[in-house]
Amino acid sequence: MLAADVAVTMATVTEGTPAREAAKVLAGQDLPGLIVVDHRGRPLTVLAGVQVLRMALPSYCQEDPALARVIGEADATVILDGIGDRTVADLLPRERRELPAVSPKATLLEVAAVMARANVPLVAVVDADRVMTGAITLDSLLDHILGT
């Protein structure tokens, strides 16, 4: 079995996508992260879901979760308000890590290696022009390797 057999299609975002929208795309699909692509559909960055949360959450909350407690339940929308009008590009980490991407013909062990190396539970599958054709999640990879 090869990468192409395990890949699923997924919604992507671009650097120009409003960050609020990106958070909703992440929440709206049952996948463990987001893939940011350029205008030709070539992946630029693969973000784990928790990275998106970290981008969206005010840093004072992350430094001291007790502060988040006193803000109160009703203000959970502080997350979206905190994002404001910023775009994905505004919130991306400055240093880009190695892009976890594989060819449709990659073996599952190769996909596992790329995923482990990138430390993200999501890998993009790209064609010869580096255009994304699908994505492989850790869950589906394990299901296929372990036969669960």
* Residues at the interface with its own copies (CB under 8 A): 1-2, 23-24, 26-28, 30, 32, 48-50, 53-54, 57, 61-69, 71-73, 75-80, 106-110, 112-117, 119-121, 138-139, 141-143, 145-146, 148
What's the Cα-to-Cα distance from 20 to each of 29, 42, 51, rounded to whole Å? 15, 22, 14
What's the half-sphere exposure (Cβ side, CA atoms, 13 Å) at 28? Answer: 10
Backbone angles phi, psi at 100, to 5 degrees: -80, 95
Least CB distance to its own copies at residue 129 (A): 20
- 64 versus 90: smaller Cβ distance to its own copies: 64
- 97 versus 117: smaller Cβ distance to its own copies: 117
Residue 136 in tokens: 């492989």
- 67 versus 89: smaller Cβ distance to its own copies: 67
Least CB distance to its own copies at residue 39 (A): 26
- 62 versus 90: smaller Cβ distance to its own copies: 62
Side by side, the strands of the sheet bearing 13-14 are: 13-14, 33-37, 43-48
Least CB distance to its own copies at residue 82 (A): 11
Backbone angles phi, psi at 86, to 5 degrees: -70, 155
Place of tokens 């909350």: 61
